[in-house]
Structure 1
Amino acid sequence: MRRRLLFGERMLLGDGTEPFNAVIAFRLRGDFKEEDIRHALNRIQEKHPWLRALITRDEKNLPWFEVPQQAVPIPVRIVTRKGEDDWQEESRKEWQTIFDHENLPLIRFVWIRGEGISDMLFAFHHCLSDGGSAMAFLYEFLKVLDNPVADIGIENPILGIEDVVPSSILTNRRQRLKAKFIGRIAATAIKYFPMRKKAIDRQNDYLIHWKFDQQTTQQLISYCKSMGVTVNTFLSATLLEAFKKVRGTAAFNKVSCPVDIRRFATQIKEDHIFAFGLMITISSNEKKSFSDNLPLMQESVDRDTSRLNPYMTMMVMESGHDALENFTKLLKKGKSVNDCMFSNLGRIQIPHEYRQFIVDTIFSPSVIGPLGNTTTMVASTYRGEMDFSFMGSEGYLPHSEALAIRDELIQSITLKTEYTAVSSLS
């Protein structure tokens, strides 16, 4: 089984010499055997062909996912657990470790082994999977780890754009010409976009993590409901406000937010291994107050989201494979135009209690790569607690400023939610 990488996947893969790795870390309470972990990993590989895939190149040097006849197991690295934050150090190691994609799968596993408690990590190349797909195989791994004979099904994998875009659109002459026309305009514009002579020196990468307890998380959700906005919009607005207060005129007043393509393209199932994303940009009106901005930003988010067209976007991108090199160069050498990328995975629907162990927490995923500004915040909610991972690089956002933004964000959210909670009681 094989398929050629789509435009977005090729962009994330690059030439394979620079890591673009994502990590999902989670903490389990219980005792485990290595053979049970390896069995669970083998089972999810059996279900998902692309978790077995290597990268091969054809005569035109184009990359393909190819599943070998003899499966190569997911590599497992075991380290001794020394403290609560070991998972952060191991996450940073996994960010920097290049995948040997010609000989090994694009996914690895780290077991930080302790007495009665273990932290575990899935590390995977971003060209293989997005956060939604990763949560699916994490759910399946835990299910089999608890019950070795559990039924997790078999994935019917996506074999190309034709498995996502309906044939009535993909074969429509007008739609195809439109996609090609838009793609040519974009490719021409990219050629003449101003760029630096060389990419910014990223310097040291960092990970900042924090969590809200159940009470604060519930107050945050209640505040959003009272304001008539989504949690995602509220957090984006608060993030913009924090960047402005800390960075002043150096702030761009723009946050990029991925939108799950599964909301629009129902052909892509929750357990499909897939890495294509849609994107909107959120800004605030700096002449208005925070509370006045919120409904305006929500209107903008709703409007921009409703205009997303995953099928045309994919067709445009697939028409532009010859422009990939220029597009990648633009991402690496073009000037930053946004403060941060922010992704909210929402409520993680994975059980907490199993027969053999307890899932203490699932940390928000972290990801870092070579394509421009690395500043990223990811939020998720598990067991009623909202969790945050904030990634960046000194060359784009100094660690001291990132810490100040985190502190400003926490303070702002705490003040707003506490005020709402007190007001509701009075």
Structure 2
Amino acid sequence: MKRKLLFGERMLLGDGTEPFNAVIPFRLRGTFKEEDIQYALNQLQGKHPWLRAVIHHDEQNIPWFEVPERNLPIPIRTVSRNGEDHWQKESEREWQTLFQYGERPLIRFVWIKGEEVSDMLFAFHHCLCDGGSAMAFLYEFLKILDNPSAEIGVEHPILGIQDVVPSEILTNRKQKLKAKLIGRLAATAIKCIPVGKKAVERKNDYLIHWKFDKALSQELISYCKSMEVTVNTFLSAAVLQAFKKIRGESAFNKVSCPVDIRRFAKQIKEDHIFAFGLMIVVSANHKMSFSENLRLMQESVERKTSKLNPYITMMVMESAHDALKNFTKLLKHGKSSNDCMFSNLGRIQIPHQYKEFTLDTIFSPSVIGPLGNTTTMVTSTFRGEMDFSFVGSEGYLPYAEALAIRDEVIQTVKLQLDHIAVL
């Protein structure tokens, strides 16, 4: 089984010399055996063919996912647990570790082993899948780790654009022409945009982590409902305000927010191993109050989201493979134009109580790669607590400023909730 990488996947893969890795850490209370962990990982590979895949290049240097006849197990690295924050150090190590994708799978596992508590990490190349896919196989892994005979089904993998874009759109002459025309215009425009000779020096990467307790998390959710805005919009507004206050004129007033393609393309199932994403950009009007801004931003988010068309977007990108090199150069060498990417995975619907162990927490994923500004904030909610991972690089956002932005986001949330409580 094999398939060509799509445009977005090739962009994330790069030339193989720089990692673009995502990490999902989680904490379990219980005792475990390595053979049981390996068995659960093997079962995951049995369901999902692309978790067994390597990447090979053909004679035109086009990369292909290819499932080898001989099964290549997901490697496990075991280290002794050294404190509550040890998982952060191992996350940062996994960001920097290249995948030997021609010889091994694009996923690996880290067991931070303790006597009664273990932290575990799934690390995977971002060209393999997104956070939604990763949460699906995390759920399946825990299910099998608890009960080796549990059924998790078999994935019918996506084998190309034809498995995502309906045939009546994909073969429509008008749509094909439209996609090709937009692709050519974009490719030409990208060539004309001036870029520097050198990419920005990233310097040291870092991870900042924090949580909101159940009470604060629930207050925030209730406040957003009363304001008729999403938690995502509220937190985006808080992030924009924090960047403006801390960075002043250096702030761009732009946050990129991923939108799950599964909302629009129902052909992509929750458990599909797939990496393609959609994006909108959110900005604030700093002349307005925070609460006034929320409603305007929510209207903007809904308007932009309604215009997203995953099918045409994919067709445009697939018509522009010859522009990949120029597009990647633009991302790497062009000036940053947004403050950060902000991603809200929402409520993670994975059980926490199992027969053999307890899933104490799932830390929000982190991801870092070489395509421009690395500043990324990811939040998720598990067992009623909002969890935040804030990733950055000194060359784009100094660590001290990132800490100040975190504090400002937390203060903004609390001030808004205190204000509503007083009213």
**TM bucket normalised to smaller:** over 0.9
> Which residue in the other structure is 1:37 paired with?
37
Superposed CA RMSD in Å reads 0.6
Q: Which deviates more, 190-199 or 209-218?
A: 190-199
Q: What is the 5 A alignment of 1:338-377? A: 338-377=338-377
Letter in 2 for 1:44: L
Q: Secondary structure at the match of 1:46?
A: helix
> Which residue in the other structure is 1:323 paired with?
323
> Which residue in the other structure is 1:193 paired with?
193
Return 5+ residue gaps in structure 2 as ranges.
none
User: Is 1:388–2:388 an aligned residue pair?
Assistant: yes
> Which residue in the other structure is 1:4 paired with?
4
Q: What is the 5 A alignment of 1:21-420? A: 21-420=21-420
Q: Secondary structure at the match of 1:346?
A: strand
Residue 343 (structure 1) shift: 0.3
Return 5+ residue gaps in structure 1 as ranges.
none
Q: 1:211·1:388 contact (CA, 8 Å) conserved in 2?
A: yes
Residue 225 (structure 1) shift: 1.0
Q: Secondary structure at the match of 1:119?
A: strand
Letter in 2 for 1:153: G
Superimposed CA distance per residue, residues 179-219 of structure 1 (whole angstroms, 9 cap, x where no aligned partner): 00000000000001121121000000000000000000001
Q: 1:260·1:277 contact (CA, 8 Å) conserved in 2?
A: yes
Taking the aligned partners of 1:194 and 1:278, their CA distance within structure 2 comes to: 25
Residue 38 (structure 1) shift: 0.3
Q: 1:219·1:421 contact (CA, 8 Å) conserved in 2?
A: no
Residue 226 (structure 1) shift: 1.4
Residue 288 (structure 1) shift: 1.3
Taking the aligned partners of 1:420 and 1:388, their CA distance within structure 2 comes to: 23
Letter in 1 for 2:157: P
Percent sequence identity over aligned pairs: 76
Provide runs of 4+ in structure 1 moved above 4 Å: none
Taking the aligned partners of 1:288 and 1:383, their CA distance within structure 2 comes to: 35
Residue 240 (structure 1) shift: 0.1
Residue 227 (structure 1) shift: 1.1
Taking the aligned partners of 1:420 and 1:43, their CA distance within structure 2 comes to: 49
Q: Secondary structure at the match of 1:388?
A: strand
Q: Secondary structure at the match of 1:194?
A: coil
Residue 422 (structure 1) shift: 4.3
Residue 415 (structure 1) shift: 1.5
Superimposed CA distance per residue, residues 252-285 of structure 1 (whole angstroms, 9 cap, x where no aligned partner): 0000000000000000000000000000000011
Q: 1:219·1:418 contact (CA, 8 Å) conserved in 2?
A: no
Q: Secondary structure at the match of 2:35?
A: helix
Residue 419 (structure 1) shift: 2.7
Letter in 1 for 2:284: S
Letter in 2 for 1:356: E
Superimposed CA distance per residue, residues 286-336 of structure 1 (whole angstroms, 9 cap, x where no aligned partner): 221111111000000000000000000000000000000000000000110
Q: Secondary structure at the match of 1:344?
A: strand
Letter in 2 for 1:199: A
Taking the aligned partners of 1:133 and 1:55, their CA distance within structure 2 comes to: 19
Residue 417 (structure 1) shift: 1.4
Residue 420 (structure 1) shift: 2.1
- TM-score between both structures, scaled by the size of structure 2: 0.99
Taking the aligned partners of 1:88 and 1:419, their CA distance within structure 2 comes to: 34
Superimposed CA distance per residue, residues 122-159 of structure 1 (whole angstroms, 9 cap, x where no aligned partner): 00000001000000000000000000010000000000
Q: Secondary structure at the match of 2:108?
A: strand
Taking the aligned partners of 2:391 and 2:38, their CA distance within structure 1 comes to: 30
Letter in 2 for 1:13: L
Q: 1:92·1:206 contact (CA, 8 Å) conserved in 2?
A: yes
Q: Which deviates more, 412-421 or 12-21?
A: 412-421
